[in-house]
Amino acid sequence: MSELILVTGGAGFIGSHTCVALVAAGYTPVILDNLGNSDVRVLRRLATITGKTIEFIEGDVRDRALLDRLFREHAIAAVMHFAGLKAVGDSVADPLHYYDNNVNGTLVLAAAMRAAGVKTLIFSSSATVYGEPESSPIPESAPCRPESPYGHSKRMVEQMLADLHVAQPDWRIALLRYFNPVGAHQSGLIGEHPQGKPNNLMPYVCQVAVGLRDRLAVHGGDYPTPDGTGVRDYVHVMDLAEGHVAALSHAALAPGLVTVNLGTGQGASVLDVVKAFELASGQPIAYDIGPRRAGDVPAYWGDPSLAHSTLRWKARRGLQQMCEDSWRWQKSNPKGYGN
Ligand code: NAD
Ligand code: WQD
């Protein structure tokens, strides 16, 4: 009998791709999502890719009565908790909204899990908890100095779950710190479609390539990096999805708490991304080098060696494939799930 995995935020970018990886690994995902930043039409695409109809419950992780009912009616074996808000700038503008969604949301979820006796939790954390690192690659032991309410909310949840684990050592918890997730499923049927003007580099480049935006503004060309532009550790969303399945298999081995970076260990600059995308799409990407963006770190990338040794997971897809898969999704779905 296939294990049921509750995927909160499963209609979103990373959650939807993880549902594909879960089905491929023989699990049965059940999605809980309030559709605040996603489109219900992703479900039909998931059915096309997986050949399975994934159960969807529309609702909020902060709704305790809904969670109690959900756990009563489903024999959930583990929870993957993606549901959360992720725009750094919005978190500065409305911190209480972010703490409510991200911290209170996880608190309500963990309490409902405890009441239902579900003790396996994979949590979407972020490399943003490191803030500006002393050096790269960043190991998990590096100090955490988040710089935004969003980053603080992720760190607070990590602390809350670590405290829970001290009190209840029979829990199995993975805190996964993602670097910069990009790309799309290779079918081109699911991908990332931000609402409004994209904040992040890859969706912006995609929209320039498809003609929705005129030019990319490169935020700073005078950083102390090889070409002067910012350097990040971009990681393919299907690699991340497989990392979650690896974390679930690891959790099945024994109770415990692990904190693990999910990245490639390789840095790429803004101009590296532009060049790789031009090659992947055959489209020129017009850009201007502008001022630095407030709050940006010049360069960082992760040390993924703990993920290799603990989870037996390694990112397999390179920057070129990230761009090819992003482009396949973007060109066939310029307006997202509405096409
Ligand atoms: P996303 O916005 O595409 O997905 C999040 C999903 O959660 C959305 O479908 C949204 O509707 C849902 N949601 C939000 N709040 C909810 C709530 N209270 N109840 C129910 N559903 C809710 O974002 P994503 O890129 O897929 O990110 C998933 C998780 O990974 C988030 O927690 C995010 O903070 C974390 N993360 C993302 C990145 C990134 O760059 N994409 C990097 C590091 C960490
Ligand atoms: C990447 C590089 C920009 C847009 C953010 C969050 C982080 C995590 C991942 C959730 C930087 C440059 C960007 C543009 C540009 N999310 N850039 N022009 O800032 O590394 O990380 O997403 O946890 O918390 O902060 O990602 O894609 O915005 O930027 O030149 O229009 O691209 O300056 O060097 P970032 P990004």
Q: What is the mean pLDDT of residues 294-321?
A: 97
The answer to whether the CB of 232 is under 6 A from ligand 2 is: yes
Cα(326) to centroid of ligand 1, in Å?
A: 18
Range of the domain at 247: 4-184+234-264+299-316
Nearest alpha-carbon partner for 181 in 243, 107, 119, 136: 243
Residue-wise pLDDT tens digits, 42-58: 999 999 999 999 999 99
- pLDDT at 1 (0 to 100): 78
- Judged against a pLDDT cut of 70, whether residue 313 lies above it is answered with yes
User: 76 - beta bridge partners?
Assistant: 4
Residue-wise pLDDT tens digits, 197-212: 999 999 999 999 999 9
Q: What is the mean pLDDT of residues 13-37?
A: 98
- Judged against a pLDDT cut of 80, whether residue 322 lies above it is answered with yes
Cα–Cα dist 302/141, whole Å: 11
Catalytic, 27? Answer no
- Judged against a pLDDT cut of 90, whether residue 338 lies above it is answered with no
User: How far does Cα 34 stand from its chain's mean position?
Assistant: 17
Residue-wise pLDDT tens digits, 112-158: 999 999 999 999 999 999 999 999 999 999 999 999 999 999 999 99
In what helix (H) or strand (E) does residue 120 lie, and over which residues does it extend?
A: strand 120-126
The answer to whether the CB of 88 is under 6 A from ligand 2 is: yes
Q: Which of 129, 219, 240, 272 to mutate to test the pocket of ligand 2 (most atoms within 8 A of CB)?
A: 219
Higher-confidence residue: 195 or 91? Answer: 91
Which residue owns the Cα nearest ligand 2 atom 23?
Answer: 126
Q: Which of 16, 82, 154 to mutate to test the pocket of ligand 1 (most atoms within 8 A of CB)?
A: 82
The CA radius of gyration of the chain, in Å to the nearest whole number, is 19
Q: Is 106 helix (H, G, I), strand (E, B) or coil?
A: helix
In a domain, 174, yes or no: yes
Cα–Cα dist 37/59, whole Å: 13
- pLDDT at 308 (0 to 100): 98
In a domain, 202, yes or no: no
Q: What is the mean pLDDT of residues 334-338?
A: 91
User: Cα torsion at 206, 207, 208, 210 (round to 10°)?
Assistant: 90
Nearest alpha-carbon partner for 310 in 266, 265, 253: 253
Strands (DSSP E) contained in the chain are: 4-8, 28-33, 55-58, 76-81, 120-126, 172-178, 180-182, 216-219, 231-232, 234-236, 256-262, 268-269, 287-290
Number of domains composing the chain: 1
Q: Is 189 helix (H, G, I), strand (E, B) or coil?
A: coil
pLDDT band at 174 (very low <50, low <70, confident <90, very high): very high
In a domain, 247, yes or no: yes
CATH code at position 22: 3.40.50.720
- Judged against a pLDDT cut of 70, whether residue 339 lies above it is answered with no
In a domain, 110, yes or no: yes
In a domain, 284, yes or no: no
Which residue owns the Cα nearest ligand 2 atom 7?
Answer: 128
User: How far does Cα 213 stand from its chain's mean position?
Assistant: 25
In a domain, 43, yes or no: yes
The answer to whether the CB of 217 is under 6 A from ligand 2 is: yes
- pLDDT at 103 (0 to 100): 98
Cα(282) to centroid of ligand 1, in Å?
A: 31
Cα–Cα dist 213/167, whole Å: 51
Residue of 98, 130, 150, 337 marked catalytic: 150
Instruction: For the chain, give the percent of residues with pLDDT over 70.
Output: 100
Is 138 in contact with 179 (CB distance < 8 Å)?
A: no
The answer to whether the CB of 225 is under 6 A from ligand 2 is: no
Residues 6 or more apart from 248 whose CB is under 8 A from it? Answer: 5, 27, 78, 80, 120, 122, 174
Cα–Cα dist 135/129, whole Å: 15
Cα(25) to centroid of ligand 2, in Å?
A: 31
Q: What is the mean pLDDT of residues 243-257?
A: 98
Instruction: Point out the ligand nearest to the CA of residue 198.
Output: 2
Is 48 in contact with 123 (CB distance < 8 Å)?
A: no
